[in-house]
């Protein structure tokens, strides 16, 4: 059975959420410029996913590629 | 229970001869007074608010401070990524509990540490090539988060001039015209109804008035940058709110009537309810207080609300 087209994106979103959790749980004093750029990129990825979902007219639906909420991240 | 006199003792924003008479007014305190005198007494004079309102205030303040840092960074020569990186670092550091060595806990699905970082990145990325150019102050710094305060002609019956104070988010320029840019966050939809709340509106009338009096800038209007904050998204919309000089002059003329009414209420020590306002603005948060018998209100307030300490003097937002 062929894989659902959204599964890659979901995997990416999942790994993004893991990185986000890890970065957000670290003492900011220890974050490098690269860490901050990675955090910014994760947020940009969420924005792209959200924009795609909005463009598909899914405002009332759950996003196909969810952006992680603070609760989901345990923050 | 602390009396109003004790609470306001030594506070330069209030009359020393008439307890409860505010001498320094902001757009927020004027709007609160006009909504309902009792609401003004409970929220502004006594400082009661719902715990959730404290979260909204703290979160909104962090976004404002982050944006100020960004505009100042850009004015100082940082590119978008460099300025944004500084803002994100600042936001993370300011929401980190150094004692517990962990991120601060925010008990709100929409206003928390993750949504703060998301709001700053999404909003600043969206407007990185902003057609609105932040004006520069004479010293070359960005005209962002500009505090103002000035005396007006109107006086108390004791002859003390009232003062108006506040803070402009940003003075911007586009096509040779100056505008005041104001940033708002909301948990609700960015509908026409949302934007219609700003006309008329005391805060925006005061800002336009202050632009001219305090900064010598005649603003063509106010550009509202509204940010809808959800648990998993941010949506931003920009809209122009016009304020003609006639409208501002009318607002200023009528302000003296309200200041006189506030003085009368303070002299009587009585701030009456406006029961027609109880259902407005999605319902007044003090409805549960006012609907109780007078003798039961204090206990209800103490059980359900938080009392903020009074911040003294000019420059302190109320």
Per-residue DSSP letters for A21-65?
HHHHTS-GGG--HHHHHHHHHHHHHHHHHHHHHHHTT-TTSPPSS
Contacts of B89 in chain A (CB under 8 A): 28, 31, 36
Q: How does residue A12 score in pLDDT terms, banded at 50, 70 and 90?
A: very low
CA distance B171 to B182: 9
Q: How does residue A28 score in pLDDT terms, banded at 50, 70 and 90?
A: very high
* pLDDT over 50 at A5, yes or no: no
Residues 217-236 of B with CB under 8 A from A: 231-234
Predicted confidence at residue A72, as pLDDT, reads 53
Q: How does residue A58 score in pLDDT terms, banded at 50, 70 and 90?
A: low
CA distance A42 to B118: 9
Of A40, A46, A71, the CB nearest to B109: A71
A46 vs chain B: nearest CA distance in angstroms? Answer: 8
Cβ distance of A27 and B96 shorter than 8 Å: yes
Side-chain-side CA neighbours of B208 within 13 Å: the count stands at: 25
CA distance B266 to B261: 9
Contacts of A24 in chain B (CB under 8 A): 92, 103, 113-114, 117
Residues in chain A, overall count: 75
CB B261 within 8 A of CB B162: no
B291 touches chain A (CB under 8 A): no
Q: What is the CA radius of gyration of chain B?
A: 20
Calculate helix-pair angle for B27-35, B202-215, nearest 10 degrees.
150
Contacts of B55 in chain A (CB under 8 A): none
Please name the residue that has the structure tokens 């940033």.
Answer: B183
Quick one: DSSP state of residue B54? H
Of B106, B117, B233, the CB nearest to A39: B117
Q: Which residues of B158-194 are buried (b: 16+ CB within 10 A; e: fewer)?
A: eeeebbbbbbbbbbbbeeeebbbbbbbbbeeebeeeb
pTM: 0.85
Contacts of B254 (CB under 8 A, 6+ apart): none
Identify the closest residue of chain A to B111 by CA–CA distance: A70
Residues in chain B, overall count: 318
Contacts of B113 (CB under 8 A, 6+ apart): A24, A70, A75, B92, B95, B103, B104, B106
C-beta atoms surrounding B72 within 10 Å: 18
Predicted confidence at residue A59, as pLDDT, reads 53
A3 vs chain B: nearest CA distance in angstroms? Answer: 26
Identify the closest residue of chain B to A63 by CA–CA distance: B232
Please report which helix (H) or strand (E) contains residue B247, including its range.
Answer: helix B245-268
Contacts of B190 in chain A (CB under 8 A): none
Identify the closest residue of chain B to A74 by CA–CA distance: B105
Give pLDDT tens digits along chain B (318 positions): 678 878 887 888 999 999 999 999 999 999 999 999 999 999 999 999 999 888 999 999 999 999 999 999 999 999 999 999 999 999 999 999 999 999 999 989 999 999 999 999 999 999 999 999 999 998 989 999 999 999 999 999 999 999 999 999 999 999 999 999 999 999 999 999 999 999 999 999 999 999 999 999 999 899 999 999 999 999 999 999 999 999 999 999 999 999 999 999 999 999 999 999 999 877 999 999 999 999 999 999 999 999 988 765 444 445
Best CA proximity match to B201, nearest among B247, B166, B155: B247
CB B195 within 8 A of CB B183: no
B200 preceded by a cis bond (ω within 30 of 0): yes
- Show the tokens assigned to B129: 């090539």
């Amino acid at each position: 059975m062929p894989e659902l087209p959204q599964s890659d994106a979901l995997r990416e979103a999942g790994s993004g959420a893991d990185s986000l959790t890890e970065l957000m749980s670290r003492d900011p004093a220890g974050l490098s410029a690269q860490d901050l750029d990675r955090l910014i990129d994760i947020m940009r990825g969420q924005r792209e996913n959200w924009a795609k979902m909005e463009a598909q007219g899914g405002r009332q639906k759950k996003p196909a590629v969810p952006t992680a909420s603070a609760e989901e991240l345990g923050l | 229970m602390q009396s109003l006199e004790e609470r306001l003792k030594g506070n330069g924003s209030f009359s020393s001869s008439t307890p409860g008479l505010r001498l320094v007014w902001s757009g927020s305190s004027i709007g609160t007074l006009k909504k309902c005198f009792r609401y003004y007494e409970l929220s502004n004079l006594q400082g009661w608010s719902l715990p959730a309102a404290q979260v909204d205030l703290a979160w909104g303040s962090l976004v404002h401070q982050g944006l100020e840092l960004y505009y100042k960074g850009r004015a100082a020569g940082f590119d978008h990524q460099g300025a944004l990186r500084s803002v994100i670092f600042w936001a993370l550091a300011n929401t980190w509990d150094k004692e517990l060595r962990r991120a601060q806990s925010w008990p709100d699905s929409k206003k928390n540490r993750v949504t703060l970082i998301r709001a700053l990145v999404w909003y600043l990325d969206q407007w990185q090539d902003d057609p609105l150019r932040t004006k520069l102050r004479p010293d070359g710094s960005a005209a962002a988060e500009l505090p103002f305060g000035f005396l007006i002609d109107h006086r108390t019956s004791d002859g003390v001039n009232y003062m108006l104070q506040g803070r402009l988010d940003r003075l911007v320029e586009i096509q040779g015209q100056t505008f005041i840019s104001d940033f708002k966050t909301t948990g609700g939809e960015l509908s026409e109804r949302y934007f219609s709340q700003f006309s008329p509106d005391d805060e925006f009338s005061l800002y336009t008035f202050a632009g001219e009096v305090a900064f010598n800038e005649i603003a063509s209007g106010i550009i509202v940058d509204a940010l809808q904050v959800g648990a998993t998204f941010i949506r931003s919309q920009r809209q122009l709110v016009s304020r003609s000089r006639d409208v501002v002059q009318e607002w200023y003329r009528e302000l003296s009537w309200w200041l006189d009414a506030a003085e009368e209420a303070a002299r009587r020590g009585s701030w009456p309810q406006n029961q027609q306002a109880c259902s407005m603005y999605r319902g007044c948060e003090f409805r549960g207080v006012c609907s109780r018998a007078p003798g039961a209100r204090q206990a209800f307030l103490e059980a359900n609300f938080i009392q903020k300490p009074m911040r003294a003097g000019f420059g302190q937002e109320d």
